[in-house]
């Protein structure tokens, strides 16, 4: 199983440090928004940074890229569509990231919505999805349309149930509180809410999640479920014909949810 450990940064970001399966001494980091905690984790674990994977251009995901790449001579992979500085290997949908000497290989999935350049990395039964999919939630639509984001989430939801999901933020508790408002009868949501509340009371991480779990608890992956549609229609005060309309209502509802 792929070994990835979270590096905490800012108020609630997770920068994921992947240990190379082939030699156990090399590492790859996903979305290093801040170089300092990544360097501290590398030092602590005795790892050499060999590559950097970037999902999208937001500063809390790229802030440490230049410094880490220069310091370690690490190869930087990132979206081809973005306004991204210092990307050595620009990537688009269905491209492969092959780091054979580290024993790592990922398939790139274009997942526009949060931003238009957003990509996710899938491999070794793991998904690094940046700010597209969170546990029990999804990213805000800064650049894309609801139907773009729904299309992206649908693709992620089609991955096998046991794929582990490494999200970029600790948003799970707030997301589940919202999910329980949308689907008060969803027992999986209520159970997850209790478990996550206990974890967060100890400041423990709630990730990774899995695709199977998200299909049960994430309202944004459940826009075609009658319970979510009915709740969205009640919130909108109008019938909603398409899943993308349901998604748009639930996303806007979440934006204003406290
Ligand atoms: Zn972002």
Q: What is the pTM of this model?
A: 0.97
The pLDDT value recorded for residue 85 is 74
Instruction: Check residue 82 and give its pLDDT.
Output: 77
- Rounded Cα distance, 252 and 209, in Å: 24
> Distance (Å, rounded) from C-alpha 124 to C-alpha 202?
30
Q: What spacing in Å lies between the alpha carbon of 130 and ligand 1's midpoint?
A: 7
Residue 34 Cα to ligand 1 midpoint, Å, equals 14
Average pLDDT by stretches of 10, the chain with 258 residues: 97 97 95 98 97 97 97 97 86 97 98 98 98 98 98 98 98 98 98 98 98 98 98 98 97 95
CA dist., res. 52 & res. 20, Å (int): 12
Secondary element (H or E) of residue 249: helix 243-255
**Which residues are known to be catalytic?**
56, 58, 60-61, 114, 131, 169
d(CA 242, CA 223): 9
**Backbone angles phi and psi of 123, in degrees to 5:** 180, 155
Structure tokens at 150: 């729904």
């Amino acid at each position: 199983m792929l070994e990835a450990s979270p590096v905490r940064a800012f108020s609630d970001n997770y920068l994921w440090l992947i240990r190379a399966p082939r030699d156990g001494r090399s590492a790859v980091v996903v979305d290093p928004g801040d170089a300092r905690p990544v360097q501290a984790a590398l030092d602590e674990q005795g790892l050499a940074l060999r590559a950097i994977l970037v999902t999208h251009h937001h500063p809390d995901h790229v802030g440490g890229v230049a410094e880490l790449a220069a310091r370690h001579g690490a190869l930087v992979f990132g979206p081809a569509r973005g306004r991204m500085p210092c990307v050595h290997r620009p990537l688009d949908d269905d491209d492969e990231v092959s780091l054979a000497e580290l024993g790592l290989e990922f398939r790139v999935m274009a997942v526009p919505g949060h931003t238009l350049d957003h990509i996710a990395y899938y491999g070794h039964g793991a998904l690094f999805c940046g700010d597209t999919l969170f546990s029990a939630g999804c990213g805000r639509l800064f650049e894309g349309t609801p139907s773009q984001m729904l299309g992206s989430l649908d693709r992620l939801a089609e991955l096998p149930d046991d794929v582990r999901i490494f999200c970029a933020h600790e948003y799970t508790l707030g997301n589940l509180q919202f999910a329980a408002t949308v689907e008060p009868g969803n027992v999986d949501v209520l159970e997850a809410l209790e478990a996550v509340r206990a974890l967060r009371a100890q400041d423990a991480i709630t990730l990774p999640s899995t695709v199977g779990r998200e299909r049960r608890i994430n309202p944004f992956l459940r826009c075609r479920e009658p319970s979510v549609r009915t709740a969205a229609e009640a919130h909108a005060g109008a019938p909603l014909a398409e899943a993308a309309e349901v998604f748009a209502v639930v996303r806007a509802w979440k934006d204003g949810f406290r």
